[in-house]
């Protein structure tokens, strides 16, 4: 997710930071140091900095003179633009769903047959499902402060059956109503397979949010009861939060029959296989391979612009809102930015492995939100600006960030409650990768200048306990308030990764990330996976790199003694 709705809070935070010695110095491409906050870096540097290859060399020399030149061991680093192969079919879970969206009642529901296996070493004597729509009823009475309070209802889940025996399963909920427990009369042994069947009806709340309907646009996401992740500590059911990305699930295939009003234009995870007309409705058949979730957006007012990048078909949906040219231009700019993102990220991290990418300009309070094969961008972002501004600026901030999540959340999953920087910091770093690859603007962060002790030991920060950005690699729940989390996971996380990149030769850090993506593709990674990869290729004795890690991250990920 890219947050803009809390921009005032964030700007307040950043203005507090910038009034201190805690500004970050960015070497621009003319080799001069300039003082900027991270937010202004994102929004202004493309306008103020032009790059040419010769200037880049000069800037690099400036940088390398401040830090030790590095040589990484490139043995085993995948080639640029390498393929990312899907997980074998037998290792994926499978959701088979018959769904109906009731536009008048604002409900989504139907029947689910979910086939999966126990991928742990322990017997499962119960299952845990996550039912996020129920949190949209009244999160406060559920003991939650999820920041969402709408006209939602508790999801009706019924006819739950264990396919091995045909036995019915009685469910219960925690005080956190999104946590649903299903006791199994016959435990599921390690490696054993079963099909769980259930019916559900969830209310789509009337709200401009990542899950909700507003102005006839349905954002139907995280809407069906989904199996939680089983970890060494048991079923993971961290508290929902309405910021960033707080979902954690397993790679699955989906076969979906989705019934919607006959005039509704639907964009979804996966590929449409066909469509049948009913009386006043239509049923769309959809198949998705190797994804963590299935979502869709629908509206009777959607128009689309479409394009391709290699084997991937891209559709951008928008509504006209009486400003047809403005919104169409915005959509066309977002299409171009999407093509750019797939090109640049594909070369840097490995090719986007899916055949479709859907981009929806929709009512949503945040700047954007990411799902497998589908991103939502707030419909008014950049509206009215010219197409090049949309491509360059909206592209380098929102579109690139959400498409970056296709690699860091989608392909490489993680527990975003416990290690939120693993997807948000990497997605924020992809904004820079876009800016460099498309706008030819390479930022440098010199760790020897930026991350001196002044940053962390600053008296003001010590005396203001609510400002607790560092270390950035903490669970969401360990930050004192959301603004701290946003600054840490988005701005400082992006800076930390740019700073690591700055310690290495051009392209080397992309190579290390590419190796991390290959190693962890289609499973849930931990930060140890990333740091093991980093140390494998960059060594544990790179002083500049170690200083960055020491400055931004806690002791759990520090390099082992060389």
Instruction: Report the interface residues with Zn ion, using CB under 5 A.
Output: 1, 424, 427
In this structure, what are the phi and psi dihedrals at residue 214, rounded to the nearest 5 degrees? -150, 135
Residue from 359, 362, 377, 372 nearest 314 by CA: 359
Q: Smallest distance, Å, CB 401 to Zn ion?
A: 5
What does the DSSP assignment read for 46-71? HHH----HHHHHHHHHHHHHHS----
User: Which residue, 200 or 247, is less far from Zn ion as judged by CB?
Assistant: 247
Q: Which lies closer to Zn ion via its Cβ, residue 1 or residue 194?
A: 1
Closest CB 424 distance from Zn ion, rounded Å = 5
| Residue nearer to Zn ion on the CB measure, 316 or 427 | 427
Tokens of 82: 């390498």
CB 342 within 8 A of CB 357: yes
User: What span, in angstroms and rounded, lies between the C-alpha atoms of 491 and 100?
Assistant: 40
The per-type count for the chain, helices as H runs and strands as E runs, is: 15, 27
Q: Which is nearer to Zn ion, 1 or 112 (CB)?
A: 1
244 versus 511: smaller Cβ distance to Zn ion: 244
The residue assigned the tokens 């416990």 is 418
Q: Smaller CB distance to Zn ion: residue 205 or 410?
A: 410
Q: Which strands, in side-by-side order, build the sheet including 124-130?
A: 172-173, 179-188, 124-130, 226-227
- Calpha distance 321→304 (Å, rounded): 14
SS3 (DSSP) at 169: coil
Instruction: Specify the residue, 1 or 348, whose C-beta has the smaller distance to Zn ion.
Output: 1
**What letters, b where the CB count within 10 A reaches 16 and e where it falls short, cover 217-253?**
bbbbbbbbbbbbbbeeeebbbbbbbbbbbbbbbbbbb
Smallest separation (angstroms) from Zn ion to the CB of 404: 8
Name the minimum Å distance from CB 420 to Zn ion. 9
Q: Which is nearer to Zn ion, 407 or 535 (CB)?
A: 407
Q: Evaluate whether 170 touches 183 at the Cβ level (below 8 Å).
A: yes
* Nearest residue (CB) to Zn ion, 293 versus 424: 424
Distance (Å, whole) CA 530 – CA 508: 15
CB of 492 to Zn ion, least distance (A): 14
In whole angstroms, how close is the CB of 77 to Zn ion at the nearest point?
26
Structure tokens at 274: 């066909």
Residue whose CB is less far from Zn ion, 356 or 424: 424
Q: How far is the CB of 37 from Zn ion (least distance, A)?
A: 19
Find the shortest distance in angstroms from Cβ 425 to Zn ion.
Answer: 9
Output phi, psi for 428, to 5 deg: -70, -35
Q: Least separation, in Å, of the C-beta of 112 and Zn ion?
A: 28
Whole-angstrom distance between the N-terminal and C-terminal Cα of the chain?
37
Cβ–Cβ contacts within 10 Å for residue 6, how many?
17
Calculate the alpha carbon distances from 526 to 92, 353, 395 in Å.
20, 22, 28
Q: Alpha-carbon distance 205 to 196, whole Å?
A: 27
Q: How far apart are CA 396 and CA 388, in angstroms?
A: 12
């Amino acid at each position: 997710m890219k947050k803009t709705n809390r921009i005032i809070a964030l700007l307040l935070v950043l203005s507090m930071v910038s009034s201190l010695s805690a500004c970050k110095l960015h070497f621009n491409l003319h080799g001069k140091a300039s003082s900027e906050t991270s937010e202004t870096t994102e929004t202004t540097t493309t306008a103020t900095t032009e790059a040419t290859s010769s200037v880049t060399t000069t800037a690099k020399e400036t940088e390398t003179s401040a830090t030790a030149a590095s040589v990484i061991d490139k043995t085993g680093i995948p080639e640029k633009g390498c393929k990312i192969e899907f997980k074998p079919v037998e290792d994926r879970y499978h959701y088979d769903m018959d769904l109906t969206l009731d536009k008048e009642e604002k409900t989504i529901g139907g029947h689910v047959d979910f086939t999966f296996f126990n991928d742990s070493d322990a017997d499962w004597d119960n299952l845990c499902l996550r039912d996020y729509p129920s949190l949209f009823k009244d999160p406060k009475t559920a003991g939650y402060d999820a920041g969402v309070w709408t006209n939602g209802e508790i999801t009706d889940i019924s006819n739950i059956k264990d396919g091995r025996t045909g036995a019915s399963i009685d469910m219960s909920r925690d005080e956190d109503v999104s946590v649903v427990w299903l006791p199994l009369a016959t435990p599921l042994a390690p490696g054993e397979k079963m099909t769980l069947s259930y019916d559900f009806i969830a209310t789509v709340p009337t709200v401009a949010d990542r899950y909700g309907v507003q102005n006839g646009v349905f954002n139907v996401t995280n809407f069906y009861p989904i199996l939680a992740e089983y970890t060494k500590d048991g079923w993971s059911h961290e508290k929902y939060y309405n910021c960033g990305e707080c979902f954690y699930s397993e790679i699955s295939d989906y076969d979906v029959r989705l019934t919607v009003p006959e005039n509704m234009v639907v964009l979804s995870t996966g590929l449409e296989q066909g469509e049948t007309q009913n009386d006043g409705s239509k049923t769309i058949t959809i198949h998705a391979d190797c994804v963590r979730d299935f979502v869709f957006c629908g509206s009777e007012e959607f128009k689309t612009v479409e394009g391709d990048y290699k084997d991937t078909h891209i559709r951008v949906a928008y509504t006209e809102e009486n400003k047809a040219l403005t919104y169409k231009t915005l959509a066309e700019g977002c299409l171009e930015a999407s093509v750019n993102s797939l090109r640049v990220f594909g070369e840097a991290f490995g090719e986007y492995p899916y055949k479709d990418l859907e981009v929806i300009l929709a009512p949503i309070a945040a700047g954007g939100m990411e799902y497998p094969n589908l991103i939502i961008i707030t419909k008014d972002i950049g509206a009215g600006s010219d197409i090049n501004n949309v491509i360059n600026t909206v592209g380098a901030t929102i579109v690139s960030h959400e498409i970056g999540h296709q690699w860091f959340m989608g392909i490489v999953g993680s527990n975003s409650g416990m290690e939120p920087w693993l997807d948000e910091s990497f997605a924020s770093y992809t904004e820079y990768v876009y800016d460099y690859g498309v706008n030819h603007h390479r930022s440098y962060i010199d760790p020897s200048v930026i991350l001196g002790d002044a940053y962390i030991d600053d008296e003001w920060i010590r005396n203001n306990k609510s400002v607790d950005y560092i270390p950035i690699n903490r669970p969401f729940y360990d930050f004192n308030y959301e603004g701290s989390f946003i600054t840490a996971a988005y701005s400082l996380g992006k800076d930390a990764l740019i700073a690591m990149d700055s310690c290495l030769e051009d392209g080397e850090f992309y190579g290390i990330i590419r190796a991390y993506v290959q190693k962890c593709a289609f499973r849930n990674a931990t930060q140890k996976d990333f740091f093991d990869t980093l140390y494998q290729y960059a060594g544990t004795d790179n002083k500049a790199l170690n200083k960055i890690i020491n400055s931004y991250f806690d002791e759990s990920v520090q390099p082992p003694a060389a």
